[in-house]
Amino acid sequence: MTTYIIRRILMTIPILIGISIISFGIMQFAPGEPTALDLDPTITPEDREEQLDALGLNDPIPVQYVRWAGNILQGNLGNSFITNRDVGSMIWERLPNTLVLMISSTIITMVVAIPIGIISAMRQYSARDYVFTFGSFIGVSIPNFWLGLMLIMFLSVQLGWFPVGGVTTLGGEFSILDRLHHLFLPALVLATADMAQMTRYTRTSMLEVKNQDYIRTARAKGFKERRVVYKHGLRNALMPLITMFGLLLPTFIGGSVVVEQIFTWPGIGQLFLDHTFQRDYPVIMALTMFGAGLVVIGNLIADILYAIADPRIEY
């Protein structure tokens, strides 16, 4: 297993290099540049060229890429063009909030989706199955930005049950309950689509295994239905679910860009969106590679879980 993990990590190196080259090229050829956002009427074209020279943006693109990649290999993410702050520090400040949001969404997804999928499969074509299936299709179809705005309108503005946004109550003392109160709506919105998809995956997987011979054998031995379903059925239905779980990390990052903006949640998703509008290349590239790293980590976790769920798999 250790050899396999090391081999997989080494295989990701050219993938990350390719992603970095493509992302850097797209960013360079995108319209606009950081100095164009400076609306000071006294700045002349010559002043703008001096600013571009100071930022190194007038150098050939390959030179810029090699300089950026060399800094990355040394652990230096560069300084923001807008705030002149260290990009690593900016990400580190926002990362805990995004991790809390991602972990909460993952917990909600797993705790809600897997039991519903199992019930839906074991009670196939029942009223509950139809309700859960219909709810899954609704959850997949609703855009998270629309759902977030609707929940804010009804639950926050009209009913006053939840805060409109933010991490804590302004001016209030630190409280776990207050944090959870602010966390609930954004975590729920971020988890909705994944809950719906995970429910469908769980139902489909359980339907494939529930009529297998080993399930009938377990029932014939007199095992309780709960043990048959969860020990014999669910474990053999885990493989597609593990694949789905491995893809949750990058989808949470993508979804957090919208959710954090709607709920003014100060995480890296909001940081990415704000600095993308400002053409802040060091921040954009650092967060792009962070997302790419999460994809790699998610796939690696999925492969490790495959071996745990099914010891027959050889590496």
Q: 315 pLDDT exceeds 60? A: no
pLDDT given at position 1: 64
C-alpha distances (whole Å) from 153 to each of 101, 142, 182, 234 are 21, 16, 15, 39
Confidence of residue 58 (pLDDT cuts 50, 70, 90): confident
Q: What number of other Cβ atoms are within 10 A of residue 17's Cβ?
A: 11
Q: Which residues pair with 86 in a beta bridge?
A: 79
120 and 13 within one domain: no
Instruction: Specify if 189 maps to a domain.
Output: yes
Q: 39 pLDDT exceeds 70? A: no
Instruction: Specify if 82 maps to a domain.
Output: no
148 and 276 within one domain: yes
CATH number of the domain that residue 246 is part of: 1.10.3720.10
Q: 109 pLDDT exceeds 80? A: yes
pLDDT given at position 204: 86
Q: 195 pLDDT exceeds 80? A: yes
Mean pLDDT of 215-224: 78
**Which of 110-114, 237-241, 256-260, 295-299 is modeled with the greatest confidence?**
110-114
137 or 241, which is more confident?
A: 137
Its pTM stands at: 0.80
49 or 77, which is more confident?
A: 77
37 or 197, which is more confident?
A: 197
32 or 136, which is more confident?
A: 136
Confidence of residue 150 (pLDDT cuts 50, 70, 90): very high
Q: Which domain holds residue 9?
A: 1-74
Q: 312 pLDDT exceeds 70? A: no
187 and 293 within one domain: yes
- Distance, CA of 253 to CA of 298 (rounded, Å): 12
95 and 70 within one domain: no
172 and 98 within one domain: yes
113 and 46 within one domain: no
272 or 30, which is more confident?
A: 272
159 and 12 within one domain: no
Mean pLDDT of 59-69: 86
97 and 65 within one domain: no
Mean pLDDT of 253-280: 83
101 and 187 within one domain: yes
Mean pLDDT of 140-144: 87
Counting residues of the chain whose pLDDT is more than 70, the rounded percentage is 89
169 and 61 within one domain: no
Q: Which residues pair with 79 in a beta bridge?
A: 86
Q: What number of other Cβ atoms are within 10 A of residue 157's Cβ?
A: 11
- Distance, CA of 119 to CA of 225 (rounded, Å): 12
Sign of the four-CA dihedral 273, 277, 279, 280: negative
pLDDT given at position 76: 86
Instruction: Specify if 314 maps to a domain.
Output: no
pLDDT given at position 29: 79
- Domains: count for the chain: 2
160 and 40 within one domain: no
Instruction: Specify if 18 maps to a domain.
Output: yes
Mean pLDDT of 203-229: 79
Task: Give the residue among 187, 194, 224, 230 at the shortest CA–CA distance from 210.
Answer: 230
